[in-house]
Amino acid sequence: MAWHPLTGELFSSEHGPSGENGWYAHDEINIIRPGGNYGWPHVIGVPHRPGYVDPVISTGDETWAPSGICFYTGDRYEGYRNTLFVACLRGKQLRAISLKPPAYDSVESSTALFDGSLGRIRDVAQSPDGYLYLCTSNRDGRGDPVQGDDVIVKALELPG
């Protein structure tokens, strides 16, 4: 979970189904609303159904397996201020998601960073000096560990 730096709203990542009810994928990023019903386990994706809160992002048939998220508030990486970063296990990437102002409740752009180069990314955090740190999760039986895994990586720059 992460608080949006401009709106103060709470965002969460939701790992979609892994075979429950015959469903897969449909990972989500949601804005948490008091009393909001996000549908699990009866509704996935963007159903536009009365009584349910639609996600800001749904991956559809693609699986990211999101885990940790953070909004970037530093100045180390040009053009990324207020970007939502999403650590993705299955996607083996860090997603950089820019949200559309003024409500910041829809996607302007979504870019994959470190696409496969680090393996499964479990979490992302910003340090007080503005660097992003990522931790990998390749030794949990689902990844492809290499010598020296799992690690915490300081992102000196962002690719691409």
Q: Return mean pLDDT, the chain.
A: 91
Q: What pTM, to 2 d.p., does this model score?
A: 0.91
Query: Is it the case that residue 70 has pLDDT exceeding 70?
Result: yes
Residue 160 domain-assigned? no
Residue 89 domain-assigned? yes
Cβ atoms of residues 70 and 85 within 8 Å: yes
pLDDT for 125: 98
pLDDT for 150: 86
Q: Which residues pair with 31 in a beta bridge?
A: 11
Residues 6+ apart with CB under 8 A from 40: 14
Residue 100 domain-assigned? yes
Residue ranges making up the domain that contains 53: 2-155
Residues 6+ apart with CB under 8 A from 12: 1, 29, 30, 32, 69
How many domains does the chain divide into? 1
Higher pLDDT, 160 or 32: 32
**Banded pLDDT at 124 (limits 50, 70, 90):** very high
Cβ atoms of residues 81 and 74 within 8 Å: yes
Q: Which residue has the tokens 């180069």?
A: 117
Handedness of CA 92, 63, 79, 71 (dihedral sign): negative
Tokens found for residue 117: 């180069």
Strand blocks (E) in 60-106: 66-71, 84-88, 93-99
Alpha carbon 8 to chain centroid, angstroms: 18
First to last CA, the chain: 26
Query: Is it the case that residue 160 has pLDDT exceeding 70?
Result: no
Percent of the chain with pLDDT over 90: 66
CATH classification of the domain holding 89: 2.120.10.30
Lowest-pLDDT range of 20-24, 26-30, 97-101, 131-135: 20-24
pLDDT in tens, 5-55: 999 999 999 988 777 777 778 899 999 999 999 988 788 878 788 999 999
**Banded pLDDT at 116 (limits 50, 70, 90):** confident
Residue 21 domain-assigned? yes
